[in-house]
Amino acid sequence: MINKTELEDILLEYLKKDDLELVEVKVTNNNIIKIYIDALNGVPISKCAEISKFVERKLDRNKEDFELEVSSYDITAPFVLPLHYLKNVGRKVEVLIKGEGNSTQKTIKGILKEVKFTDDGKEISLIEVSETKGKKQEVYFIEESTIKRTRLISII
């Protein structure tokens, strides 16, 4: 079976040069490899093809056959990286706030106004979301530790 950790290490080094983020790598027992990447301004298909060719060169099909898929992170998927918050400032999001255990206490739907980071700049500490209810506008300052899930709301 293809080693996921080794593959991630190979990808991280390669992606750094293009300011791309590795979102996730999945490797099944059948050696089906799915690589999800993202960037502040999105990822063109040509870049996915380039990464696919790079991975193909690094792995030996004669030693172990595999199926490979490289794509940008799904716009409808929950945010998993600080990058996802940054690239969606000004857009409508849905934020689920944690309740007791694993339950959802509250859902906020509004415009993501601001993202604040920890002192080291690597983690999100707080997000600001502005929600409009009728003529009333509420502003929420949400600590990262209380967020269960955040996702972009489709405007289609």
pLDDT average, residue stretch 55-84: 92
Within 13 Å, how many C-alpha atoms sit on residue 70's CB side? 23
Are 23 and 66 within one domain?
Answer: yes
Are 44 and 89 within one domain?
Answer: no
pLDDT at residue 39 tops 90:
yes
Taking the C-alpha atoms of residue 21 and residue 87, their distance in angstroms, rounded to an integer, is: 12
The parent domain of residue 38 ranges over 4-72
pLDDT average, residue stretch 82-105: 87
Asked if the structure places residue 91 within a domain, the reply is yes
Domains: count for the chain? 2
Place of tokens 């999800």: 36
Taking the C-alpha atoms of residue 96 and residue 116, their distance in angstroms, rounded to an integer, is: 18
Residue 123 or residue 150, greater confidence:
150
Encode 32-60: b = buried (16+ Cβ within 10 Å), e = exposed. Answer: ebebbbbbeeebeeebbeebbeebeeebe
Asked if the structure places residue 77 within a domain, the reply is no
pLDDT recorded at residue 1 = 84
Are 21 and 53 within one domain?
Answer: yes
Render pLDDT for 103-137 as a digit per residue (tens, 0 to 9): 668 999 999 999 998 888 778 888 999 988 888 98
Which CATH number belongs to the domain containing residue 42 in this structure?
3.30.300.20
Q: How far apart are the first and last CA of the chain?
A: 41
Asked if the structure places residue 27 within a domain, the reply is yes
pLDDT recorded at residue 101 = 72
Domain boundary among 72, 105, 123: 72
Place of tokens 């929950």: 78
Mean pLDDT of the chain: 90
Are 58 and 13 within one domain?
Answer: yes
pLDDT band at 47 (very low <50, low <70, confident <90, very high): very high
Which residues is 130 bridged to in the sheet?
Answer: 111, 139
Residue 121 or residue 150, greater confidence:
150
Residue 3, SS3 per DSSP:
coil
Residue 79: Cβ within 10 Å count: 22
pLDDT band at 155 (very low <50, low <70, confident <90, very high): low
Asked if the structure places residue 95 within a domain, the reply is yes
Are 47 and 89 within one domain?
Answer: no
Q: What's the whole-model pTM score?
A: 0.81
Taking the C-alpha atoms of residue 38 and residue 83, their distance in angstroms, rounded to an integer, is: 8
Are 35 and 53 within one domain?
Answer: yes
